[in-house]
Structure 1
Amino acid sequence: MIVAGAAVQGSAHLARGQGCQDAFKAVGLDGAAVLAVADGAGGRERSALGAHIAVDTACRVLAEGVPRAEDGPQVWTGWIAAAGARVVEDYLRAVGGVLAAAPAAGAPVDAGALASTLAAAVLRPPWVAFLSVGDCFGTVLTRGPAAAGAGPGTGVRERCHLVLPPPVPGAPDTVFLSSPGAALRLRSFALWEPELSGVVLATDGCAPLTLDHPSVRELPPEAGPLPSERFFCGLAATLRANGGDAEPLHALLSGPGTARTGDDLTVLCALTDGG
């Protein structure tokens, strides 16, 4: 398994002298990987800490009791739903402990000061399980036979699929792990895919860089955002070729084209390393 990730401070945050408020973490298991990315709320004073607590909590909880590759859908969907509820509960407990240990002068500070979104995934081919609170998003990669007539050297083609999309424009306000009722608004699901070759998580600032408007593929707007094959499949090919060195990913997120988002950018992926 190849695991690589990078986080880059957004241009708007840099201009304001504000540090990166994203966080990511990965844990390798026997034949599996746990990934988590988090995006601290921009206007909250301690959200960067909240994002780090979020990924630490998610990786710790999701590394426990991961179902086997041969287990069925009921096992996987039940496990990720229960784990998701526990992630929210443990996050709130950890944030409460931080606030109690270092109370602010004056008015009490609530958990919203450490507000963060979260997306996490557990990859154990042919299964991948996701949980999400907020606007981070996730893409699955698959490797299968190329279309007939694709030309020499293209017997196997990698494809990308946006399975955990960001909220649509005009959606209600972003939900954070510290929002009231966050556990009830958590998304969790599991996918069985025999051609599964990887999973990529990203914070919402990456959307302009990694997602295409449907018009790019001559589809109507209601088709929604589509994952950019140039980004995802190109990234996977690069990481497999260099053994997982994340420097090209960091350079990609730091390029001139990323200035249009202004937000912090974080991408984390796990890839099967087979040819």
Structure 2
Amino acid sequence: MAVQAVGASATGTSHVAQGQPCQDAFEVVRTDGCLVACVCDGAGSAARSDEGARTLARRVAHALAHDPRALLRSPDAWEQVAAAVQATRDALSPLADLAAFHATLCGVVLTPAGSLAFHLGDGVIFGINPENWGDYLVSEPENGEFAETTYFFTLPDWRRHLRVMCAPARFRTWFLMTDGTASFAAGNQPWRPEAGFLRPVHDYLRGVPQEAGEQALQATLDDPRSHRITSDDKTLVWLHREP
């Protein structure tokens, strides 16, 4: 298989205790030997953030999957990502005040020629050279002025915080995660992949069918040891392209 993708979300114990749904969401689209993936984290303080996260992940991933190879080459890639985000805002705004749908966005477009990563708010994205795990790049979370705050696609100044970067083709393995997963899958100061966790995940997922991989990843995120580290929702999406 030229490209592989596995993702899972687990509801945090704090939301289970309060009878709330998981406010994380992800979407993966396969097209023309390429992958487009989005991971979104809804704000716990927003009434319909789970809906906002699902809608944002789905609409942006499908919009950018129209022609991912051309998107990677395009000089206006930032504008195309921004247009997909704006279209999501336009779709949600008639339903309620946009603040009800607060969510962040992490995304990757993976093609044979390289990748495009885009990011708004917190969460973490890692691009890794699987031949050398010390060769990686990171899109760090952007937090707000105060602790536990960040930037959402529903805010008036969201465009100022949308980041887009291109990555060379050697970064064939990608991890996208919400901040709940980052609490044990990423190190900070500086931000870096926790290879002791992510590399076994990569090695396992690379060698099993997608359904088995999804079940294993779900079980890992739902493991009591993960819940002891954080009571937040947890989402992790793994992407890999063979050379």
**TM-score of the superposition, structure 2-length normalised?**
0.89
- Listed as ranges, the matches of 1:70-85 within 5 Å are 75-76=73-74, 78-85=75-82
Q: Which residue is 1:93 aligned to?
A: 90
- The residue number in structure 2 matching 1:216 is none
Report how far residue 158 of structure 1 moved. Answer: 4.5
Q: What CA RMSD, in Å, does the superposition of the two structures yield over aligned residues?
A: 2.1
Deviations 1:23-68 (A, max 9, x none): 1000001121000010111011111000011011111221123235
Show the counterpart of 1:237.
203
Structure 1 residue corresponding to 2:225, chosen from 243, 252, 257: 257
Aligned-partner residue type, residue 229 of structure 1: A
Which residue pairs with 1:124 in the alignment? 111
Matched with 1:139 is 126
SS in 2 for 1:67: helix
Distance 1:178 1:122 in 2: 22
- 1:54–1:91 contact (8 Å) kept in structure 2: yes
How big is the shift at 1:125?
2.7
Cα drift, residue 162 of structure 1:
4.5
Secondary structure in 2 aligned to 1:236? helix
Deviation at residue 249 of structure 1 after TM alignment? 1.0
Q: CA deviation at 1:273?
A: 4.1
Where in structure 2 are the equivalents of 1:12-27 lying within 5 Å?
12-27=14-29
Are 1:267 and 2:226 matched, yes or no?
no
SS in structure 2 at match of 1:41: coil
Deviations 1:74-128 (A, max 9, x none): x34x3430122102211110111333xxxxxxxxxx1100111111110003411
Report whether the alignment pairs 1:248 with 2:216.
Answer: yes
Residue identity opposite 1:90 in structure 2:
A
- Tell me how far apart the structure 2 counterparts of residues 41 and 184 of structure 1 sit (CA, whole Å): 19
- Which is greater in Rg? 1
CA–CA distance in structure 1, aligned partners of residues 156 and 67 of structure 2: 28
Q: Give identity over the alignment, percent.
A: 27
1:189 aligns with 2:165: yes
Find the aligned partners of 1:212 and 1:184 in 2 and give their Cα distance: 26
Paired amino acid for 1:114: F
Check whether the contact 1:80–1:130 (CA below 8 A) recurs between aligned residues: no
- Supply the distance in 2 between the matched residues of 1:228 and 1:61 (Cα, whole angstroms): 31
How many Å apart are 1:161 and its aligned residue?
2.5
Aligned residues: 237
CA distance in 1, matches of 2:206, 2:130: 13
CA contact (8 A) 1:25 1:37 kept: yes
Could you tell me how far apart the structure 1 residues matched to 2:105 and 2:27 are? 11
Gaps in structure 2 of 5+ consecutive residues: none
Question: How far off its partner does 1:8 sit?
Answer: 0.2
Alignment deviations for residues 4-31 of structure 1 (CA, whole Å, 9 cap, x no partner): 0000000111111111011100000112
Query: 4+ runs of 1 displaced by more than 4 Å?
Result: 157-160, 168-172
Tell me how far 1:166 sits from its aligned partner. Answer: 1.8
Q: Decide whether aligned partners of structure 1 residues 86 and 191 sit closer, same or farther in structure 2, where only a CA change above 3 A counts.
A: same
Query: Which consecutive unaligned segments of at least 5 residues does structure 1 have?
Result: 100-109, 145-156, 214-222
Q: Is the 8 A contact 2:34 2:110 kept in 1?
A: yes
Match for 1:113: what amino acid? A
Give the aligned partner of residue 107 of structure 1: none
